[in-house]
Amino acid sequence: MRKVSLFVAAVLFLSPSLLSADASTQMKYFKDVSGDGGNGDLIRIDIDSDIYDATAADFGDIRILGPANAEIPYAVSLDTANEIRTKDIYNQAKINSLRKFDDNRIELIVEISEKNLRISGISLRTSSRNYEKQLSISGSADMIEWKPICENAAVFDYSELTPISNNTVRFDADGLRFYKITISNISENKQSPRTELITEKRTGNDFSVIEKIVLDREALKINGIDFLTIEKTKAAGKTQTREYPLTAPTIKEYKGKTEIILNSRREPIESFSIKTSSTNFSRQISVYGSDDEKEWRCLGNGKITGIEIAGYREHHLSIPIPRSRLKHYKISVLNGDAPPLSGLAATASGAVFFIEMINRENTNDLKVYYSGSNIPAPSYDIREITDKLKNPSFAQMRFGEEKANPSYRQAGEFSFLNNKPAFITIVLLMVAILSFTLFKNFKKIDSLSTK
């Protein structure tokens, strides 16, 4: 019986430790929360790189504690905003006249629909390949007074060398129904696949054979002209992004490709942008991600392009990837037989997550604890409450510097004390032992009374 009493006493002694297990002992780090809660309905605190780097993928190992270490419900939200998206609509224009000039240029007068007098450019439809032309455009409302719009704008196709072409001249015009388009250098000499062999004879015998290259005169074939209008649509819930810092890149050159190795702090990255001092290129690239630099998985493929030629500029240097929180990234640039791009670097952009919670009277003693092992995500009802609010106001607060938690218990230390099922089992066992002890004592008392 004495052993049973000692066991019960031990359990009662350990009970305060069981009840006191909270975020202040389960998390490795903490930060103070600063800022004035103000009059906002909700408090918003943007998650920073320290927390991204140390937390689980679902942010389940984050706890907000208030005065007396009271746990405060919160929700992790994705920063979004409404967006106006634009799309080019191509509409066929009517060609009213065509004139040819002796200096190898032509002049077209086209007419657009009265319903779409606000346009954003003109595009040529052509089946020709491998050319470079200059367009000068002027507009008029009555075909009497002409207003210059642009001069020597470049349209080109270099598909013989690389898949790069542009047949669109962009500008903004409104109220003009007629457009005069002058195309210079409309015809060009191009080498024919045919050759001529000329045999020179002297005194009846062949003296020499001359191979003559044949040049064909080829004009730009215009199949039609379109005018561009802009269609605007409202898209709700566009994810807001920001640029996240990366370590200085490690560049590795291989035959036919270049690799850029980058490290991050596990921020939610959604795209990479390439920086280079090279011009006039088009390269295929692939992005890979890893947590240990041993196993790499492909996150995305795409093409980057940089063109600066004949007054035309075009740069497409970004590639999107699925939202990823990894420590290591590798960008592979396929060069083929072309020389590697010069001055390579990369930047990363991604989503913004923030913590939101209901504004309370006392916001002076808030702390965030984070980075634990095998900690289940909390279950709060705050989302059901905040979703019912229409256009709530936010009070912006911020996290301070990262600090090591001196009360943190290493994984496995007193793990049975921090385990809720184990705690319940011990309590039930304690109740059973106490009940059995009482039963034995009452039985003994009854026996003594009978005697």
Residue 292 is assigned to a structural domain of this protein: yes
Please tell me whether residues 95 and 146 are part of one structural domain: yes
Please tell me whether residues 122 and 227 are part of one structural domain: yes
- Of 200, 232, 264, the position where a domain reaches its end is 232
* Band of residue 6 on the pLDDT scale cut at 50, 70, 90: very low
* Band of residue 196 on the pLDDT scale cut at 50, 70, 90: low
What's the whole-number mean pLDDT along residues 244-250? 91
Q: List CB contacts of 320: < 8 A, sequence separation 6 or more.
A: 270, 271, 300, 302
| Residue 18 pLDDT | 41
What's the whole-number mean pLDDT along residues 401-423? 70
3-state SS, residue 163? coil
User: In this predicted model, what pLDDT tens digit does every residue of 312-368 receive, in sequence order?
Assistant: 888 999 999 999 999 999 999 999 999 999 999 999 999 999 999 998 766 778 999
User: In this predicted model, what pLDDT tens digit does every residue of 122-150 receive, in sequence order?
Assistant: 999 999 988 889 999 999 999 999 999 99
Find the range with the poorest average confidence among 18-22, 217-221, 395-399: 18-22
| More confident call, 196 vs 77 | 77
Please tell me whether residues 206 and 102 are part of one structural domain: yes
How crowded is residue 262: how many other Cβ atoms within 10 Å of its Cβ?
Answer: 21
- With CA atoms as reference, report the closest residue to 94 among 77, 75, 113: 113
* Band of residue 373 on the pLDDT scale cut at 50, 70, 90: confident
Q: Could you give the number of structural domains in the chain? A: 4
List the end-to-end C-alpha distance of the chain, in Å, as a whole number. Answer: 23
User: In this predicted model, what pLDDT tens digit does every residue of 67-110 receive, in sequence order?
Assistant: 888 899 999 999 987 677 788 899 999 999 999 999 999 999 99
Residue position matching structure tokens 């490290």: 263
| Residue 165 pLDDT | 87
Please tell me whether residues 193 and 137 are part of one structural domain: yes
Residue 237 is assigned to a structural domain of this protein: no
| Residue 37 pLDDT | 67
Please tell me whether residues 423 and 309 are part of one structural domain: no
User: In this predicted model, what pLDDT tens digit does every residue of 13-54 receive, in sequence order?
Assistant: 444 444 335 667 889 999 999 887 677 889 999 999 999 999
| Residue 399 pLDDT | 95
Residue 160 is assigned to a structural domain of this protein: yes
**Percentage of the chain exceeding pLDDT 70:** 82
Rounded CA-CA distance 63/96 in Å is: 71
Residue 332 is assigned to a structural domain of this protein: yes
| More confident call, 321 vs 436 | 321
What would the 3-class secondary structure string for 336-391 be?
Answer: CCCCCCCCCEEEEEEECEEEEEECCCCCCCCEEEECCCCCCCCCCCHHHHHCCCCC
Which domain CATH number covers 329?
2.60.120.260
For residue 304, is pLDDT > 50? yes
| Residue 162 pLDDT | 76
Rounded CA-CA distance 166/184 in Å is: 16
> Domain range spanning residue 448?
1-21+417-451
Yes or no: say if 122 and 226 are a contact pair by the CB < 8 Å rule: yes
- Of 208, 232, 256, the position where a domain reaches its end is 232
For residue 402, is pLDDT > 70? yes
Yes or no: say if 272 and 318 are a contact pair by the CB < 8 Å rule: yes
Which domain CATH number covers 189?
2.60.120
Please tell me whether residues 436 and 328 are part of one structural domain: no
pTM: 0.62
| Residue 267 pLDDT | 97
Residue 215 is assigned to a structural domain of this protein: yes
- With CA atoms as reference, report the closest residue to 31 among 59, 56, 64, 72: 64
Residue 205 is assigned to a structural domain of this protein: yes
- Of 202, 232, 262, the position where a domain reaches its end is 232
Please tell me whether residues 221 and 268 are part of one structural domain: no
3-state SS, residue 443? helix
Please tell me whether residues 4 and 33 are part of one structural domain: no
Please tell me whether residues 323 and 431 are part of one structural domain: no
Please tell me whether residues 255 and 224 are part of one structural domain: no
For residue 197, is pLDDT > 80? no
155 DSSP β-pair partners: 133
What's the whole-number mean pLDDT along residues 203-228? 73
149 burial via Cβ count (<10 Å: 0-12, 13-18, 19+): buried
Mean pLDDT of all residues belonging to the chain: 84
Please tell me whether residues 214 and 289 are part of one structural domain: no
Residue 276 identity (one-letter amino acid): T
Please tell me whether residues 56 and 16 are part of one structural domain: no
Residue 111 is assigned to a structural domain of this protein: yes
